[in-house]
Structures are given as C-alpha cells and as structure tokens.
Amino acid sequence: MGEKQMGIPLIGDKFPKMEVQTTHGMMTLPDDITSKGKWLIVFSHPADFTPVCTTEFHGFATRFDQFQELNTELVGLSIDQVFAHIKWEEWIEENLDTKIPFPIIADHGAVAAKLGMVHPGQGASTVRAVFIIDPEGTVRIILYYPKEIGRNMDEIIRALKALQTADREGAAIPANWPNNELIGDHVIVPPAKDVKTAKERLQSKEFECYDWWLCHRPQKK
C-alpha cells in the first residue's frame, strides 16, 4: 500500500511536524515548543500591512505576557516573505509603540495549505485560523474567522484557560466560564454512567446538582 495521505489536522489529531522559516530563524513545529512542556498557538492572518491584521497583532502582542503565564507560545503565519514580516514588525513598533515578541512564519503556501488556512476563492490569502496545541502535540481547539472579522484575543485566552482547567480538574467547562450564569466558575462533573452513581449524585455533599446528569463543583486546584 502507498503512504497514507494526511488531510487537514482535526481536533484530537497530532499537529503535523514541519520545518518553517520564521522571523526568529528556522523552527521545527510543534517540537521546538512542545518538547519544553509548553502549549502552542499557531495562528494565520491574511497578509502583512493590512488593517485588521495589524489590530490583531497589536492585540496578541499586548497580551503576550498573559499567554506566557499560561505556559504558551505564539507563532503567527501568512503567505508573505520574511522581509515583509520584518518590515511590518518595524512599522508596528515605530507607529503603535508595540514590539512583536513572537515569531512569524514566512510561508510560500505549503504550510497554509497543509493546515487548511488558504481562503477559498481568495488566491494565496490565508483565513484567520487558530490552532491551540497541547504539550503532547495534540490539536485541542481550531478556530476559523473570515478575512473581514478580527479575532477576540480575550476569548482565545479564555479558551486556553478552560482547556488547561478541564485537563487539570478532569471535568468539563460550562458556557461563558468562568462567569457562567448558572454555576459561576465551577466545573461540570462528568455525567453518571450507571443507575447507582446517578442516584448517589443527588445525595452527594461533594457536588451541587440540578439533576443527576447536571452536577458541578468548585475547582480543586
């Protein structure tokens, strides 16, 4: 049989290993980041020197310390030469007083195509894609936005915190966490899988329950 063809990575897949040229030099993704026990966010933007992308890079840069506190590295990407990336970084620093602290991949199209980032019907332009990858190299979240809508960086941080909390707590995370309208910053206990556990749930002092299948508790750690 021939070699298995790999499609666009999905949630739960391993992020494909690739050698990339960046503004910080050559990198091997995701290994250069995940081998250090760190999380990785790879995100694409349509092009350098475009208005919405500039607001996004400013947003990522000004929150860079928050990502670092969450043990997470950022790597940007667009189908532009490294020289354009460098010049755009200089423009942002000179005009917006913001230094871009993370690397940007200079792609000729192969990386974006491999990750499903090429905008349909828009030539070599990339969509606003986000891949959140855990320290095991597994894709945990994928977000796609059209060219005309900028991303919400605070939501990306919230989703990252939620993932890390879910892993640490062995629980699920409610809508709008940590400000859920029903249970605040509590986490959701995995539903009971047998009759005995379902009955015990409603009498347990460890959980608060709306019903046996909807129980929650404070975070343990």
Domain with residue 187: its CATH number is: 3.30.1020.10
For 127, phi then psi, to 5°, come to -75, 175
| Predicted pLDDT at 123 | 62
pLDDT value at 3 more than 50: no
Q: Single out the residue in 140, 169, 198 at which a domain terminates.
A: 169
Neighbouring C-beta atoms of residue 138, cutoff 10 Å: 16
Q: Which range of residues forms the domain containing residue 138?
A: 18-169
Same domain, 129 and 185: no
pLDDT value at 121 more than 90: no
**Strands (DSSP E) found in the chain:** 18-22, 25-29, 39-44, 72-78, 104-106, 128-133, 139-145, 187-188, 208-211, 214-217
Per the domain annotation, does 3 fall within a domain?
Answer: no
Same domain, 128 and 194: no
- Sheet containing 187-188: order of strands: 187-188, 214-217, 208-211
Q: Which residue has the tokens 């460098």?
A: 86
Q: Tell me what the mean pLDDT of segment 141-164 comes to.
A: 96
**Average pLDDT over the chain, rounded to an integer:** 93
Neighbouring C-beta atoms of residue 49, cutoff 10 Å: 12
Per the domain annotation, does 39 fall within a domain?
Answer: yes
Neighbouring C-beta atoms of residue 147, cutoff 10 Å: 17
Q: Tell me what the mean pLDDT of segment 191-212 comes to.
A: 92
| Selected catalytic residue, list 20, 42, 53, 127 | 53
pLDDT value at 124 more than 80: no
Same domain, 178 and 140: no
- Sheet containing 128-133: order of strands: 25-29, 18-22, 104-106, 72-78, 39-44, 128-133, 139-145
Same domain, 124 and 164: yes
| Predicted pLDDT at 122 | 63
Q: What is the pLDDT of residues 62-92, one digit of tens each?
A: 999 999 999 999 999 999 999 999 999 999 9
H or E element at residue 96: helix 82-96
Q: Tell me what the mean pLDDT of segment 135-151 comes to.
A: 95
Same domain, 140 and 177: no
215 is known as an active-site residue: no
pLDDT value at 5 more than 50: no
Q: Is the peptide bond before 103 cis (omega within 30 degrees of 0)?
A: no
pTM for the structure as a whole:
0.92
Angle (CA) 192-140-120 rounded to 5° is 125
